[in-house]
Amino acid sequence: MLKLAITGCTGRMGQRVLKEANRDPNIEVVGALSRPGNLFLGQDVGVFIGQEPLDISITDNPTLAFKNADVVVDCSKPGGLETHLQEALQQNKAFVACMTGLSETHKAFLETASTKIPVLVAPNTSLGNVLLRKMAVLAAEILGPSYDVSIMEMHHRSKVDAPSGTSLSLAHALANLEHLKKSNPPYPAQSPRTEGTIECVSLRGGNVPGEHTVIFAGDKDLLKIEHRVLDPSLFAHGAILAAQWLFGRPPGLYAIDDVVGISS
Ligand SMILES: NC(=O)c1ccc[n+]([C@@H]2O[C@H](COP(=O)([O-])OP(=O)(O)OC[C@H]3O[C@@H](n4cnc5c(N)ncnc54)[C@H](OP(=O)(O)O)[C@@H]3O)[C@@H](O)[C@H]2O)c1
């Protein structure tokens, strides 16, 4: 039985991870952390997610929250990372960082921590997205420079960043290819297109959980490779798979690609 502590547990991602974990017979939720002032502090975690009581209270004390855990799954925001990682280091716990928007300072901190504990950085825990990236790179290699490459994404109306982190990581992987080397973040759309570049286009609207399409447009045909999230609990499921994969690994810096078992 894998014992999990979940931070940012009152947020959308945190709640989804709590729910997925609670319905998985191989997982036990042993800690649920929010921050001081949160409305739900002290509430039973099971009741909080609309299920049977779990006899675990939502706390703002990381020492308490991580005490019985094998793995900490951080579903808070980048602002919470340092405190959570510091405590995981203190208690020698494996750590999965699920938040997006990490700065270079955060990344350096994660890297340093990974010399002492296993750390998996997964701003996108959808395994399908890893496959999308692999397939897109393969398609770009095969199709070559005569095809223009575009990445189109759509997310719900309240998403803050554009292009999405996933679009940027797709573009980054493609820009490693010799014929797409002229591409530079944030990969703006161009009219007319310059050869050797990638463009990223973002759409925002409604309640769309996340869609990414990589388009290869040639003179005589057009290829689209698409990943569409149908249910956002997908990300929680991926976070739990990542935690299961990470437990028992030696200290090191890991990515979601490692969970899928393919190198990027
Ligand atoms: N890995 C993935 O596949 C994936 C999928 C979806 C989202 N995400 C990312 O996961 C993160 C959380 O997303 P969300 O939609 O759940 O956000 P959210 O609903 O705003 O929840 C954020 C949670 O973190 C807490 N929090 C915020 N700032 C904190 C800080 N400085 N210290 C400690 N706790 C803090 C919040 O507490 P309060 O309620 O008290 O503010 C809340 O519990 C975002 O970075 C998001 O982009 C990743």
pLDDT digits (tens, 9 = 90+) for 50-71: 999 999 999 999 999 999 999 9
Tell me the average pLDDT across 7-19: 97
Taking alpha carbons only, the member of 94, 75, 92 closest to residue 2 is 94
Give the H/E segment covering residue 142: helix 127-143
State which of 16, 19, 35 you would mutate to test the pocket of ligand 1, scoring each by most atoms of that ligand within 8 A of its C-beta: 35
What's the whole-number mean pLDDT along residues 84-101?
96
Residues belonging to the active site: 155, 159
Residue pair 211/154 in contact (Cβ under 8 Å)? The answer is yes
DSSP state of 177: S
Asked if residue 100 has its Cβ within 6 Å of ligand 1, the reply is yes
In which band, very low, low, confident or very high, does the pLDDT at 188 lie, cut at 50, 70 and 90? very high
Taking only the tens place, the pLDDT of each residue in 114-150 is 999 999 999 999 999 999 999 999 999 999 999 999 9
pLDDT tens-digit map of 22-50: 999 999 999 999 999 999 999 999 999 99
Ligand 1, pocket-test mutation among 75, 85, 86, most atoms within 8 A of CB: 75
Distance 193 CA to ligand 1 centre (A): 37
The SS3 call for residue 16 is helix
Tokens found for residue 125: 């825990």
CA gap 31, 35 in Å, rounded:
13
Ligand 1 pocket: which of 76, 155, 160 to mutate (most atoms within 8 A of CB): 76
Question: In the predicted model, what is the mean pLDDT of residues 91-118?
Answer: 96
Q: Is the CB of 120 under 6 A from ligand 1?
A: no
Measured between alpha carbons, how far is 229 from 146 in angstroms, rounded to an integer? 30
pLDDT at 263: 58
pTM: 0.92
Closest-CA residue, ligand 1 atom 33, reads: 80
Do strands 94-97 and 118-121 pair parallel, antiparallel, or not at all (unpaired)? parallel
The CA R_g of the chain, rounded to the nearest whole Å, is 20
**DSSP β-bridge partners for residue 31:** 5
Nearest to 18 by CA among 65, 67, 64, 78: 65
Alpha-carbon torsion angle 51, 54, 56, 60, nearest 10: -10
| pLDDT confidence of residue 161 | 86
Residue pLDDT, tens place only, 142-183: 999 999 999 999 999 999 889 998 999 999 999 999 999 999
Per-residue pLDDT, 101: 86
**Whether 173 contacts 264, CB under 8 Å:** yes
The rounded Å distance from CA 100 to ligand 1 centre is 9
pLDDT digits over 240-263, tens only?
A: 999 999 999 999 999 999 999 865
CA 63 to ligand 1 center in whole angstroms: 19
β-bridge partners, 32: 6
The two tokens of residue 179 are: 């014929």
14 lines ligand 1 (CB under 6 A): yes
